Amino acid sequence: MLHPIVPSSNQLLPQTPRQSAKSKQISVNGKLYTVMKPLGRGGSSVVYQVLNQEMTDIFALKVVRLDSVDEITAEGYINEVRLLKQLQGLPRVVRLLEYEYNEEEEK
């Protein structure tokens, strides 16, 4: 799941690519995002601060490992996406930009 992060006035976007051989990249629906840092983790998910390929926007990207959870928990994550889609546009609801289920990686 991808959520926008609005930079504060003292948080500037990188001016030049800082990708190294160790830079982790995550693909969502064919779009590449470079991981800047982890923002949090819990259970079977990790939220990363990521930079889009054009290096113009910073987002929060949640990666959920469904291979490490039972069927009921996996269904809960799927329902989270469905609910976020329904609640888009309401105040105090995180904006869902896109999502992808990678069946091969179970993420």
62 is in an annotated binding site: yes
| Stretch (H or E) spanning 46 | strand 45-52
Distances (CA, A) of 67 to 9, 21, 92, 98, 107: 39, 27, 31, 21, 8
Which residues are part of a known binding site?
62
Which residues are part of a known binding site for ATP?
62
